[in-house]
Amino acid sequence: MNQKAWSFKAVGQDDLRYFGNNGYHDDSTSFYRYDNFVPNHKQVKKGDIVIVTDRKNILGISVIDNLSSAPYIKIRNRCPYEGCAPAKLIHRKFKKPEWRCSNGHEFDYPKVEDAPALEFKADYKKNYKPINSVSITDLISNTPRYNVQSSIQEIDFEWANHLFGGVNQLSPTEADSDDTLLNAEDQRKAVIRQIKQRRGQKAFRDSLITLATQCAVSNCAIVDILEAAHITAYKNDTHNHVSNGLLLRCDMHTLYDLDLFAIDPDSLLIYFAPQIQDKEYTRYHGKKLHVSYKVNRGALVERWKTFTEMYGNSHLIIKAI
């Protein structure tokens, strides 16, 4: 993988426009936090150039000198009306009721849900340089797939590299390196620490997409947030066979890597761990996996064994929906 360049949009708590979550606690001169629900979260890596902005201005530029991750519980605000899944939630300071969703519902308080997630922290304090001479318009013109709502976007590397003052490009070996060792014997601790983009990952994902363009658990068909999950831990390219893969929505992928759900190798029924109580997930508990190809049974057995050793038979209790 080559060194890349990204823009990080840092939005303060007092500048949030939509309140589907409570935002992130960043220091624009030192570090940036995001999680696995943010598009491009798996592409950013140590050594990449970052340009930090707020909504209107470019604040500074740096190079990521450390990238860490840890599981956490993400607090999400939802419309309390049954069956409503709005694109946006708005908190109004000067009108009652204070809350309104983009589907037109108004309410005093949102429904608060806890979602297991993986939080990333990109540290870049060491090389940070403030910028005053470049505008947001300049940034947009050097962002090939600019989206005003995206927090992390890839930008033209040559432009960013020149702006920084000629950062030495990393060799493929250096860019591919990762301080986190992948330990197949303890996926729950190792895989989540660095869900990195592996060589062959794109081809692996493309192969799965040719078979089905939906999440194997939720049936979600938004291709941009579907990820290629390995049933058994990735060790080498032989593990990139489609029979060892599932196409999963990004949050489902994280839960799977955390061993918070598994698939019965005989029935192909999906079972979530007892601590998963969110209806967004429990509605799939006990439902059959959606796959049209033959999944490697040995791989499923390996994951199922890990899951049952952790939770016993408690997963077999179908949760109320």
Among the listed residues 4, 110, 83, 99, the one whose alpha carbon sits nearest the alpha carbon of residue 48: 4
Contact between residue 192 and residue 229 where contact means Cβ atoms under 8 Å apart: no
Q: Which residues pair with 5 in a beta bridge?
A: 49, 155
pLDDT confidence tier of residue 183, bands split at 50, 70 and 90: very low
Residue 314 scores a pLDDT above 80 = no
Contact between residue 81 and residue 10 where contact means Cβ atoms under 8 Å apart: no
Residue 43 Cα distances to 4, 39, 142, 152, 259, angstroms: 9, 9, 18, 10, 23
pLDDT confidence tier of residue 25, bands split at 50, 70 and 90: low
* pLDDT value at residue 12: 53
Residue 23 scores a pLDDT above 70 = no
pLDDT confidence tier of residue 78, bands split at 50, 70 and 90: confident
235 or 180, which is more confident?
A: 235
Whether this prediction's pTM lies above 0.75 is answered by no
pLDDT in tens, 114-172: 778 898 999 999 999 998 778 888 899 899 888 877 889 999 998 999 888 744 344 44
Mean pLDDT for the stretch of residues 224-251: 79
pLDDT confidence tier of residue 190, bands split at 50, 70 and 90: very low
Q: Which residues contact 75 (CB under 8 A, 6 or more apart)?
A: 21, 22, 112, 113, 114, 115
CA distance 245 to 293: 10
Residue 215 Cα distances to 205, 209, 221, angstroms: 12, 10, 7
Give me the sign of the Cα torsion angle 203, 183, 38, 48: negative
Q: Which two tokens stand for residue 132?
A: 């005053």
* pLDDT value at residue 74: 79
Q: Which two tokens stand for residue 95?
A: 């009108």
